[in-house]
Chains A and B, each alone.
Chain A
Amino acid sequence: MEKMIRIENLNKIYKNGSVEVHALKDVNMEVAYGEFLAVMGHSGSGKSTLMNILGCLDRPTSGKYFLDGIDIDIKSPDELSLIRNKKIGFVFQAFNLIPRTNVLRNVELPMIYAKVKAKQRRERALELLEKVGLSDRVNHMPNELSGGQKQRVAIARALANNPPIILADEPTGNLDTNASEEIMKIFRDLNREGTSIIVVTHEPEVAKYADRIIVFKDGCIIEDSRKEGGKNYLA
């Protein structure tokens, strides 16, 4: 069966003047549909580079990347935009909500690019905001929200076009313990509903929500472990 994500001999080399940085070295990896994966490692280990490539924001220097069966390498920038729009939900450490734009419109944004009509857009956005428990904040501006609330808006936005996978880059990095727990519980619930989730983190408390942990060091996978009991180990 085709995997959600398949990576073959992936290399990423950054050139900074005469200095070459080998950020990813011959990485091979597969992620199945419905998996909850945590990618761990110190800063500079290559995990963020991997995230950018998985998110179709960056291209590998060499190697193959298939997302949902699509060969990402042969796509134009606009085709990649479309893939990001339909297939991937992004959740960032810095929340990355659009400033001076209310919560509702932030959640609607991916649907605008997906050309969903205004009425359906609004209905879907309200539905998602209810799901993350922010029904009473739809008309607030991002700067009127707490960190946890911002991240919940970001999750609602990531879910807008019902993507098969969510990529979360240090989603709890700017949050306190309570808010972090809240966010991770939402991810866990989403995963139980069938969405694949990849979380990049360096915190073991966050990683423990995942049922598979990959650890990066110096651009290589040094550990790939599955939790006993799979998805239900926290229940």
Chain B
Amino acid sequence: MEKIIWLENIKIAFQSILSNKMRSLLTMLGIIIGISSVISIVSIGDSMKGVMDNIYKDFGKNRAILYVGNIEDFRTTDFFYNDDLELLKERFSEKIVYICPSESLRSDVTAGRNTIKLNMDFIDSGYEEVQQVKMLYGRMINDKDIERKSKVIVLEQKAALKLFGKDNVVGKTIRVKIDDNMEDLLIVGVYKIEISPFLALMQGQSNYENSFIPYTMPTSSNYAYYALDIFINEKYSIAVTGDEIINYIARLKNRTPENYLFYTVEEEQTQVESIVTGLSVAVAAIAAISLLVGGIGIMNIMLVSVTERTREIGIKKALGARTKDVLFQFLIESATLSAIGGIVGTITGIGFVMVGGSFISIPVVVNPASIILAVAFAMVIGIFFGYYPARKAANSDPIEALRYE
């Protein structure tokens, strides 16, 4: 039947908190501020990870870049050539879904009175299958373009608009400078890339407009590349496949695997996430110090409350309250006080992050586990700091207490 006492004590706790609303609120303030800062910091960390995840998704999570590492007695054969690409495609036909030199050219382009700076990324056919490219008009670079080294180009919508004042420019020709030669390229398509606003913010303003050209078009067989852009089949482990590719290319080039580097998005994301986690844990730990201050506030008010209610405690003892009944009454009161503070703090913290998140338009991630943890922690604080005042109340002498005015 201990349940009866518990229920009654919870009722008494609420009664006492409600009968001193202003004081209860001020007492809870410390906990509210502490919990809301912890919740918002953890949630900012989680949201950052979510944003990062989107950025990496935009970039391609199965993406890797193979490049020539530090080589002392440098040889031109250490670079990658079109023949190497073909060998890699053949050897890893199953594991590599897309491979292309990580290369681009830049040129000024003029149409009528408009001149823009144009960046031309080398791509292979099938690029639209590994990256989010939305075709507005025409088509993407295809197998035939690669095979025939067609003098074609696919423009980004913005480039088309700046050059021609409209975006449907399929069939028009532009003159660009490629390897010191002026070439006329036929526009076969116009595309748009939808990236998260945050990634756009990180990429910053560039003077260059973007476009794609077939990687075979400007190059001859002795064109050397420093890096290769690779997308790994998601069915395979990126790290393991990376090792295989490095071993293969090192053998091909008569080098040791240490001479080649394999950068993966996956690895970077793990690193960045662990940095973000570490940072948010560190900051949350600092914020948690304010919870201690809040706890001391609760202890302070509970001591006042115990003194104020000395007579009440005496009456209750006279009427049969045992030491632990009084102890529990005050412990439950301080735990309730801090738990309410914890709940209010959680709501405030989430509200904070929601408002902030909507301002910079990023999706806010709130981990339910962190809410449960925060409220539980607040209660523990309440019980810890409420124990001393409750003990004082429970051990008071009924006669002294009854005599108290």
Contact = CB atoms under 8 A, between A and B. Distances in A.
A58 interface: yes
A90 B318 contact: yes
Contacts of A101: 15
A90 B399 CA distance: 13
A57 B398 contact: yes
Nearest to A55: B318
Contacts of A118: 4, 7
B323 interface: yes
B225 to A, nearest CB: 82
Interface residue range, chain B: 20 to 34
Interface string A97-111: 111110000000110
B311 A96 contact: yes
B320 interface: yes
Contact of B4 (A55, A77, A112): A112
A116 B4 contact: yes
Nearest to A115: B1
A225 to B, nearest CB: 29
Contact of A115 (B4, B323, B399, B402): B4
Interface in B1-56: 1-2, 4-5, 7-8, 15-16, 19
Interface residues of A, number: 30
A113 B315 CA distance: 12
A82 B320 contact: yes
Given A57-B398, A115-B5, A110 B320 contact: yes
Contacts, number: 69
Interface string B295-324: 000000000000000011011111111111
Interface in A55-86: 55, 57-58, 77-78, 81-82, 84-86
Contacts of B184: none
Contact of A57 (B15, B312, B316, B402): B402
B229 interface: no
A116 B238 CA distance: 68
B4 A117 contact: yes
B155 to A, nearest CB: 77
A58 B317 CA distance: 12
Contacts of A100: 15-16, 19
B325 interface: yes
A38 to B, nearest CB: 21
A58 B398 CA distance: 8
Contacts of A109: 316, 319
Interface of A: 52, 55, 57-58, 77-78, 81-82, 84-86, 90, 92, 96-101, 109-110, 112-118, 157, 161
30 contacts: A52-B399, A55-B318, A77-B322, A78-B322, A78-B323, A81-B320, A81-B321, A82-B320, A82-B322, A84-B317, A84-B318, A85-B319, A86-B320, A90-B319, A96-B311, A96-B315, A96-B402, A97-B315, A98-B316, A101-B15, A109-B316, A110-B319, A112-B5, A113-B325, A114-B320, A115-B2, A115-B4, A115-B5, A117-B4, A118-B7
Interface of B: 1-2, 4-5, 7-8, 15-16, 19, 311-312, 314-325, 398-399, 402
